[in-house]
Amino acid sequence: MNTSNKTNMPRFLLDWASAKNNGHAAPSLERASTTFLLKDPTACVLTLRHYNDIICDLQDTAQSNTGTALHDSVLSFAKERGYMIEQSLAKSVMVDMHDVVITGQIDAYDPITGTLADLKFSKLANYDKQKSLADDEWFNQLSVYVWLLENVRPKWYFGVNNIINLVNIRDLSKVKEAKAGNSTDQWRLIEWDVDKVKANIPTAVEKALNTFSRILQLSETPDEELPICSEKYRYAESVYKIYKKGLKKAERGHASYETAEQAMDGFNKAGFDKDKYEIVAVGGESLKCKYYCELKDFCPHYKKMMEANNG
């Protein structure tokens, strides 16, 4: 993976970002991480083919490492105190006659309480989606981790009694949330129902293995003929925003009409008149392709989208 320096930052920062980007092990067909297998198969195939040519800008590397630095600091402190353990797990499985090792990096496990914890740095809208299961990525990831734990059974493992996501909100505006009567907490805790996470193991593992199977099926397909990533993966699904009628400024988006309605019911401003507001579905644009996807230089669908926009 290469590093660009579009904003002409000092050389020491570029050296640091390059070292960070080169420090990640490239994914392979022999060893695949849980987070890799929860991506869209087309994105996985493009990553496998073009990993060494992917360019990540220093600005993006710095942004993602801000979360990583806090993550590492919190966990190393916890580890020193001896009540949490960070651990890599790996299990070998056969998919379509192909032997692959599925890996998972467990952020923290507290052997005293049997708590499995995964730290996240997330935008508020994504936290809302994951918590309400409008997006099941975190839920599936935890199910695969429990599956790995129960299969590998390390010496320090005494079972899972609690499963949590500890989430640091990256884009929290305390003023805006306070005005809306919402929580202004920077750190949020999602306490998952352990039985539900365990009951979801077959679905989550099947999803990961199906992705691997699809990667194998697509291995001979030229880039130009790869299917487009799902709407969900491209962030192309509609979000539902609450507008004051006649005004353009909206409250933040909700994953469904129902959750937007619930949020509106929860407004408790003095003199609030529900009839003056409306819920509008917006979106449909592939935001990930346009702004975030590091694979866009190799993706035929991104090229088509740009041609359609310019044409």
Q: Which residues bind ligand SF4 (CB under 6 A)?
A: 40, 42-43, 46, 228-229, 233-234, 286, 288-289, 293, 295-296, 299, 301-302
Within 8 A by CB and 6+ apart from 119, the residues are: 71, 74, 75, 107, 108, 165, 166, 167, 168
The full DSSP string for 118-171 is EEEEE-HHHHHHHHTTSS-HHHHHHHHHHHHHHHH--TT----SEEEEEEEETT
Residue 41 CB, shortest distance to ligand SF4, in Å, is: 10
Residue 100 CB, shortest distance to ligand SF4, in Å, is: 21
Q: Judge contact between 15 and 69, C-beta under 8 A.
A: no
Query: Judged by CB, which is closer to ligand SF4: 129, or 288?
Result: 288
Query: Judged by CB, which is closer to ligand SF4: 24, or 304?
Result: 304
The full DSSP string for 289-303 is IIII-TTGGG-HHHH
Residue 35 CB, shortest distance to ligand SF4, in Å, is: 15
Within 8 A by CB and 6+ apart from 135, the residues are: 126, 129, 232, 255
Query: Judged by CB, which is closer to ligand SF4: 241, or 301?
Result: 301
Residue 37 CB, shortest distance to ligand SF4, in Å, is: 16
d(C-alpha 210, C-alpha 275), whole Å: 47
Within 8 A by CB and 6+ apart from 53, the residues are: 2, 297, 298
Query: Judged by CB, which is closer to ligand SF4: 144, or 295?
Result: 295
Query: Judged by CB, which is closer to ligand SF4: 67, or 300?
Result: 300
Residue 229 CB, shortest distance to ligand SF4, in Å, is: 3
Within 8 A by CB and 6+ apart from 131, the residues are: 188, 190
Residue 286 CB, shortest distance to ligand SF4, in Å, is: 6
